Structure 1
């Protein structure tokens, strides 16, 4: 399937179509916050971004930035051709549980060692995720974990018809 036409890139934006494949890591030094059940369950001074062609960045937050008891192991695992074997977590906050809403790579593949002990999560599974003061939008589709901010232009993988991108 051919790639779609790129969205226009506004000043201060970057296109996800300029991200590499295989993906790259980049440090984001903006404050990252995650809210579940009305409670802030993570407040991090920054995070690793995984940047992959056609995807908004996936943010990997330091595990130490989550409040106590916000994360519990969940069943199941998956495998990423770039990052290796993942394990999943349930998230808890404000009396709510988001099942299998977060994941980590305990022993990431070469090139991704820096995301060990970091946790990514689905923005659609929690009340809100913030990069700086900006409320993020989840990447389309239920499988992908990217976070859309005003700093990225698409279109983004996950919309109907994007499976072959």
Structure 2
């Protein structure tokens, strides 16, 4: 079971993550979405497509752009559609 934690809270937990480039992508239904605030940030990956970001808001602390997802991934990355990954201090254990 993979778990994502930040600021003392479990943000996501799943035994069905997809691992891409060393990152666990959690199914959206395994993420505690009350901690996610939409961000204006986007980045582009040549083979996955455009990534959108969330800021984590947990216990009154914010972690800007600490979660990302591909709303419309390219065909090569279709397996991570409706999945969220984490970084920037979020502890992911498997």
**TM-score, normalised with respect to structure 1:** 0.53
Is 1:36 the counterpart of 2:1? The answer is no
Where in structure 2 are there 5+ consecutive unaligned residues? none
Q: Alpha carbon RMSD of aligned pairs, Å?
A: 1.4
Q: Secondary structure of 1:106's partner?
A: coil
Is 1:101 the counterpart of 2:63? The answer is no
- Higher relative contact order, structure no. (Cα contacts within 8 Å, ≥ 6 residues apart): 2
Q: Which has the higher helix share?
A: 2
Kept after mapping to 2: 8 A contact 1:37/1:95: no
Distance in 1 (alpha carbons) for counterparts of 2:58 and 2:30: 14
Kept after mapping to 2: 8 A contact 1:88/1:103: yes
Q: Which has the higher strand share?
A: 2
Kept after mapping to 1: 8 A contact 2:4/2:86: no
Distance in 2 (alpha carbons) for counterparts of 1:82 and 1:59: 17
Aligned residues: 94
User: Which stretches of structure 1, 4 residues or more, deviate above 2 A after TM superposition?
Assistant: 92-96
The equivalent position to 1:86 in structure 2, one of 34, 37, 51, is: 51
Q: Which residue of 2 aligns with 1:161?
A: none
Is 1:129 the counterpart of 2:73? The answer is no
**TM-score, normalised with respect to structure 2:** 0.89
Larger Rg: 1
